[in-house]
Amino acid sequence: MRRVFRSWLAALAVLGASTAALSAQEKIAAPVGPLDLDACLALAQVRQPALAAARASLMSAQDGSAALSNLPLYARLAARDLRIRQSQACLGVTIASAALTQAEWETRYAVTRNYFSVTYVRMQLNLLNSVLTDLRKARKKTEDLLKIGDPNFKVTQLDIDQFDINIELVEVRRVEAVVGEKRAFAALREAIGVGPDFPLDIPTSSKLPAPVASLDRDELIKLAIVNRGEITQANSAKTVTELEVEAQAKKWFGVRNGTFAQGSDIHAQPIPQGVMNGEYRPGAIGIEMPTMLFGKRPDRISRADDLSQRAGAVVDKTYNLVSLETDNGYLKYVEARDRLTKLAGVLPKADKLKDRAYKRLESGTGTGGEYILAATTVDTIQGQYNEQLYLHALALAGLERITAGGYRIYPK
């Protein structure tokens, strides 16, 4: 009867939790108007499954630590290594907390990146719309000049045909951009953690971050090492394995003894694999610890110490990987920043060239081909500038993630 009663209570609890979750989702199912970046980030904190999973892992680690403190007296007296296991469990909570912090910054980066992607695609769409407007205006002017029939005018039917072809090509590019906007929104929905039918929109006034003049590479590396969850996890895991040596020393008799791995999944955190093809991206290494150690006490201690030495290598590797990632992120920023500077200097010159070409066309002293060439030059440079501004924004978002908030795109 007690089991039936407990099952009934558990069912009610699950039903209540499900109803509460549905009610919470209903409250945020239909946002009023477009969402800015901060609103998207706040929504992701509630809806992103990766964060829910990380929070559940943290609660599990906390419950596991509390379970050791709640052991009955006879179990406390029998467990010689209880104090050590409690210390390891506390470190497990630290590791899970660091994993949650890491997941939060990964989520923030995913939302920010895809928000910038939507903004960038819209910038390109606006550019293409402007190009179409200019081309149609110039075509109409050319057509009017042809109707006048002045033999001194340089425009011909060939110019009209060139305008038509270029207008059709821009229309094709516009179709690609429209599809690109939908893809960017789909990626943003996934980053936030909402379904494909969620009515998501962002303000048309949203802009990419302005170019940042300079950043300190060494300071970024320091911030990454201080703030990154992986560093905390690696250092805590090393301490856990060092404590395992002490735990094995507590067991004087017997040929086998359990390790901390019996009560935790040390492989829960995915280890990224290295890439050695077109790019060089070294992979991480993880700690190792079997659930049981066999042999006499000195042998068990020796093996635990060996695995503790491996954990020390994991810490060193993690520091190196974080430093390398920061360096790569900084260089991406430098490349985009320098290209922006060059393009910003060329763009005004190209604009003047386009204006002169249109004035020549308008007066009949120039051809449509001349204008198309000048206009195409301007549009290409503007498109490249938008692209570099986008890559610059992605580099900043990457540095924000890499430093776990040590660097902020938009300082609070």
pLDDT one-digit tens code per residue, 118-158: 999 999 999 999 999 999 999 999 999 999 988 889 999 99
> What whole-number distance in Å separates Cα of residue 133 and Cα of residue 368?
15
- β-strand 275-276 against 280-281: which pairing, if any? antiparallel
Domains, in order of start, for the chain: 34-258+295-402 (1.20.1600.10)
What would the DSSP string read from start to end of 185-241?
A: HHHHHHHHT--TTS-----TT--PPPPP----HHHHHHHHHHH-HHHHHHHHHHHHH
Q: What mean pLDDT value characterizes the chain?
A: 86
pTM of structure: 0.85
Task: Please choose, from the candidates 193, 221, 223, 229, the residue with its C-alpha nearest in 3D space to the C-alpha of residue 102.
Answer: 229
DSSP string for 122-172: HHHHHHHHHHHHHHHHHHHHHHHHHHHT-TT----HHHHHHHHHHHHHHHH
φ and ψ at residue 292, rounded to 5 degrees = -135, 145
User: Mean per-residue pLDDT for 257-279?
Assistant: 58
Cβ(384)–Cβ(343) under 8 Å? Answer: yes
**Contact indicator for 274, 281 with CB cutoff of 8 Å:** yes
- Main-chain dihedrals φ then ψ at residue 409, nearest 5 degrees: -65, -50
Q: Please tell me the number of Cα atoms within 13 Å of 116 on its side-chain side.
A: 23
> Does residue 93 have a pLDDT over 80?
yes
Look at residue 253 in the predicted model and tell me its pLDDT.
75
- For 370-402, give one letter per residue: b (16+ CB within 10 A) or e: bbbebbbbbbebbbbbbbbbbbbbbbbbbbbbb
Amino acid in position 82: L
Q: Is the pLDDT of residue 283 over 80?
A: no
Percent residues over pLDDT 90 in the chain: 60
pLDDT band at residue 14 using 50, 70 and 90 as cut-offs: very low
CA distances from 141 to 158, 171, 347 (A): 14, 20, 25
d(Cα 85, Cα 59) in Å, to the nearest integer? 18
CB neighbour class for 187 (10 Å; exposed up to 12, middle 13-18, buried from 19): middle
